[in-house]
Amino acid sequence: MANLFGYFSNDIGIDLGTANTLVYLKDRGIVLREPSVVALDTVTRKVRAVGDEAKRMLGRTPGNITAIRPMKDGVIADFDVTEAMLRYFIQKASQSFRAPPRVVIAIPSGITAVEKRAVMDSATHAGARKVITIPEPMAAAIGVGLPIDEPAANMIVDIGGGTTEIAIISLNGIVFSKSIRVAGDELDAAIIGYMKRAYNLLIGERTAEEIKMRIGSAYALDEELSMEVKGRDSVAGLPKTIHITSQEIREALSDTIASIVDAVRTTLERCPPELSADLVDRGFVMAGGGSLIRGIDRLLSDKTGLPVTVADDPLSAVANGTGAVLNDLSWLMQNA
Ligand code: ADP
Ligand code: MG
């Protein structure tokens, strides 16, 4: 299809997440889904691995390699590394393209103008012909199918790895948004802290994440769960295995989850009254991997009195939103 921007079908959307980067290929859907991790040689600073391969190295690297997450806190920790990562993902996804792609990138709403510029430049260096950024919560709202062009409140709560992004959108614009650096990573950290305090057991981030996914919850479960956890005894120094329950992990996660609840409530308090009135019936939609914590929707519904739904595929919401933007020429014309 030819149009104002030229030949279109090699355009891509990118969800540059703090934990995962996804790439959406126009007319094909999501073609890449990898951790936002880069492994570097500590001496030469050369990139040794990106994505899945680099994540496998986290916590397991010898002295000469370090694995880092350049977007970890929703801000760009290292511009060069972020650029290398973006280049890798863009090139991997656009291998078969004849012409340089046009790229829509969803970026955390908390990043500065300088960081945004850096992301755009990185994408250009990585071979993009044209780069458009879109705030992550906006992409998430589009991705889950909220009618954001209506003059009514559309609210999204996206719990990612490094940040939770909360936004109220009306008439294609963000009326109010809040980004806090409390999300999946903090939940993992809370589990690490708990295991150490309660059992003198030292565990790594990957093990903590696995515990969170397997038995983590925000609300009492109909059937409580349990699992074995392996780590290192901080006193004896030797490997050991212990048995833990979902009740314990819920307690361990409760303070962190309370911070997320607080942020949602604060956002609601700042919402203009007409839009608040809309939310009573419309409620809000949750996206991001953190929305998969068991019972988090129920807890948030209890604490806000609003109906809460979790997106069908919360980990893909932002990428799907960038894909929808690629398909909507008029949206692009207005906002590019
Ligand atoms: P980001 O957009 O910041 O890259 P994602 O939306 O990809 O983040 O979500 C990643 C976070 O979601 C990680 O902290 C991960 O541990 C968490 N997560 C993924 N799946 C689950 C699950 N089933 N239960 C709980 N947390 C999950
Ligand atoms: Mg995200």
| Extended strands (E) in 80-225 | 102-107, 130-135, 154-159, 164-170, 173-180, 201-202
Residue to probe by mutation, ligand 1, list 138, 209, 286, 310, most atoms within 8 Å of CB: 209
| Packing angle of the helix pair 205-215, 246-269 (nearest 10 deg) | 90
Judge whether 246 and 226 are in contact, CB under 8 Å.
Answer: yes
Q: Calculate what percentage of the chain has a pLDDT beyond 70.
A: 95
Q: Is pTM, for the whole model, over 0.75?
A: yes
pLDDT band at residue 244, thresholds of 50, 70 and 90? very high
The alpha carbon of 336 and the centre of ligand 2 are apart by a number of angstroms equal to 21
Quick check: 114 pLDDT over 60? yes
Question: Is 321 close to ligand 1, i.e. is its CB under 6 Å away?
Answer: no
Six token digits for residue 16: 């540059």
Beta strand 308-310 with 284-287 is: parallel
283: Cα within 13 Å, side-chain hemisphere? 16
- Give the rounded distance of the alpha carbon of 94 from its chain centre: 22
The alpha carbon of 18 and the centre of ligand 2 are apart by a number of angstroms equal to 7
Give the whole-angstrom CA distance, residue 281 versus residue 84: 45
Atom in ligand 1 nearest the alpha carbon of residue 314:
6
- Give the rounded distance of the alpha carbon of 165 from its chain centre: 9
- Which-ligand-closest: CA of 321? 2
Six token digits for residue 228: 């074995």
Question: Is 74 close to ligand 1, i.e. is its CB under 6 Å away?
Answer: no
| Extended strands (E) in 139-217 | 154-159, 164-170, 173-180, 201-202
pLDDT (tens digit per residue) in 117-139:
999 998 998 888 889 999 999 99
